[in-house]
Copies of this chain bind each other. A is one copy, B any other.
Amino acid sequence: MGQYTHILLAADFNPESEKVVHRAKALAANFHARLSIVHVLEPISIAYGGEFPVDLGDLHKELEKQAKQQLGALGEKLNVAPEHQYLEVGITEKEILRVAKANGVDLIVMGSHGRHGLALLLGSTANAVLHHADIDVLAVRVGKKS
Q: Is B141 a contact of A139 with CB atoms below 8 Å?
A: no
Q: Is B31 a contact of A3 with CB atoms below 8 Å?
A: no
Q: Is B130 a contact of A126 with CB atoms below 8 Å?
A: yes
**Stretch in A21-29, A38-46, A53-61, A62-70 with 4+ CB within 8 Å of B:** A21-29
Chain A interface residue count, Cβ-Cβ cutoff 8 angstroms: 34
Instruction: Decide if A2 is an interface residue (CB 8 Å cutoff).
Output: yes
Residues of chain B within 8 A (CB-CB) of A17 are: none
Residues of chain B within 8 A (CB-CB) of A106 are: 146
Residues of chain B within 8 A (CB-CB) of A137 are: 112, 138-139, 141
Chain A positions near chain B (C-beta within 8 angstroms): 1-4, 19, 21-27, 30-31, 106, 112, 115, 123, 126-127, 130-131, 133-141, 144-146
